[in-house]
Amino acid sequence: MSLYPSAASGRATHRLTVLLRSCHPEPAVAVTVFATALAVSVGQGPGRSAAVAAAVLAGQLSVGWCNDAIDAQRDTAAGRRDKPLAGGALPPRVVAAAAGTALLVCVPLSLLSGGLAAAVHLAGVAAGGWAYNLGLKGTVLSPLPYALGFASLPAFVTLGLASRPWPAWWAVTAGALLGVGAHFVNVLPDIEKDLAGGVRGLPQRLGATACRWLAPLMMLAALGVLVAGPSGAVGAPGWVVAATAGAVAVAGTAVRSDAESRWPFRAAMAVAGLAVTQLLLSGADMVGLGSL
């Protein structure tokens, strides 16, 4: 028996690597970690939190694979070497099949949190991911799917509790604002490439300079809602997080940089992380609109 892997095994490993890169692993993992931490913060036990993690990950995988499968031809024509499918390393139909499979798996995993929670999550995946990929990406309504997708996560988490409570208004509002900010953050480094490929969503129409400011401003707006929304006085941790986020946002947008600079992107991501931290700190207060 040979000690060296066969050529077929090497090809299979390469295809698997391309498939994993095509799922947009960074945002998929980030959103999954966020939803899981939120589930823990509102009092879900290990089992239910694990169910939330599995459902959210499946949904995010389906959205990521759907995106790359649909954009494969456009990315190839635009010479997008940063896109795994642009070089023909994997047929788009394979990625499309993976997207459909992940979406199907997402259904029973979501149902582990209950029927209503599953309906909210699946609606968020459909409206917040698939609708964007299938058409809204190139329109002025491109931020809407992100807003709906992120706003659905707090509801999915709280409706998975035994009492089935809806989340507080400020949690849903902050989720929507974070989603819009995430859209601008995601597009910011690639606006010129997107325009060259014919993608004209709202960020591309506004331009890089506007998005450079709007991305952290949306995150700061979400943070403001999270600080002011919960009842009671704002504690010291909340003020520290808010002040830090403001300083990071100003520093990131004030830096004079060229179009390829990642500093505005990094600043917006840091503000988003601080907003998520504030939401987690307020997790216990997020459940408060009664039960079903």
In whole angstroms, give the CA distance from residue 235 to residue 179: 25
Specify the pLDDT at position 13. 76
Local confidence band at 159 (pLDDT 50, 70, 90 cut-offs):
very high
**How distant, in Å, are the alpha carbons of 31, 49, 70, 186, 250 from that of 134?**
21, 30, 8, 17, 35
Q: Is the pLDDT of residue 265 over 80?
A: no
* Structural tokens at position 92: 């788009």
Residue with tokens 């009664």: 290
The pLDDT score that the predictor gives to residue 152 is 95
Structure tokens at 88: 């023909």
pTM as predicted:
0.86
Question: Is the CATH number of domain 10-286 1.10.600?
Answer: yes
Per-residue model confidence (pLDDT) at position 21: 86
Indicate the SS3 state at residue 291: coil
Q: Which pLDDT band, with edges at 50, 70 and 90, does 1 fall under? A: very low
pLDDT digits (tens, 9 = 90+) for 206-252: 998 888 888 888 888 888 888 888 876 666 777 777 778 777 776 66
- The residues facing 287 across adjacent strands are 167
Contacts of residue 7, Cβ cutoff 8 Å, sequence gap at least 6: none
Instruction: Tell me which residue of 237, 273, 202, 255 sits closest to 26, measured CA to CA.
Output: 273
Tokens of residue 20, six digits: 């994993």
- Residue, of 264 and 43, whose pLDDT is higher: 43
pLDDT of residue 261: 57
Helix (H, G, I), strand (E, B) or coil at 93: helix
- How high does pLDDT run on average in the chain? 83
Three-state SS across 180-200?
A: HHHHHHHHHHHHHHHHHCCCC
Query: What is the predicted pLDDT for the residue at 92?
Result: 87
> What's the pLDDT score for residue 290?
47
Residue 262 or 119, more confident: 119
Q: What angle do CA 179, 180, 186 make, to 5 degrees?
A: 85
State residue 269's pLDDT score: 67
Q: Can you tell me the mean pLDDT for 138-155?
A: 94
Residue 190's pLDDT is 80
Q: What is the pLDDT of residue 10?
A: 63
Is 80 exceeded by the pLDDT of residue 71? yes
Which of 128-132, 214-218, 255-259 is the most confident on average?
A: 128-132
Residue ranges of domains in the chain: 10-286
The DSSP secondary structure of 34-47, one letter per residue, reads HHHHHHHHTT--HH
Is residue 194 over pLDDT 70? yes
Instruction: Report how far residue 271's alpha carbon sits from residue 217's, in angstroms, rounded to the nearest whole number.
Output: 9
Q: Averaged over 151-180, what is the pLDDT?
A: 92
Name which residue leads in pLDDT, 45 or 264: 45
CA 68, 69, 73: angle at the middle one, nearest 5?
95
What's the pLDDT tens digit per position in 91-120? 889 999 999 999 999 999 999 999 999 999
Mean pLDDT computed over 160-172: 91
Share of the chain above pLDDT 70, in %: 84
Which of the four pLDDT bands, split at 50, 70 and 90, describes residue 253? low
